[in-house]
Amino acid sequence: MAMEKGIPMPEFPLEPVQARNAPDPNILPILGIVLSSLSVGSMIALYLSLPPSDHASWIFPLPFTFLGVGLIAFHFLKQASGRER
């Protein structure tokens, strides 16, 4: 309607372009700590709460423990090699 009435349209963008922020380098170790602590806690809870015949089920959260430890190790190895981005 503005063009029909002869009103000039603004040439600047209506929404300012937001600059992309660099990713937070603390996300990996925080996620690793959370995964490790939750999985170790659930392994302890499973071991203590299951009947003796099902004690072998306590290892089910173990892959998440390894994933958390791997994320923490990756963070420190990346930091030691100087490849911070």
Asked whether residue 83 carries a pLDDT value surpassing 70, the answer given is no
Give the model's pLDDT for residue 44: 94
The whole model's pTM is what?
0.67
Question: 6-53: per-residue pLDDT in tens?
Answer: 777 777 766 777 788 888 888 999 999 999 999 999 999 999 999 988
What one-character-per-residue DSSP string does 1-57 give?
Answer: -HHHHTPPPP-S-SSPPPPPPPPPTTHHHHHHHHHHHHHHHHHHHHHHHS-GGGGGG
50 vs 70: CA distance, rounded Å:
28
The domain locations on the chain are 24-85
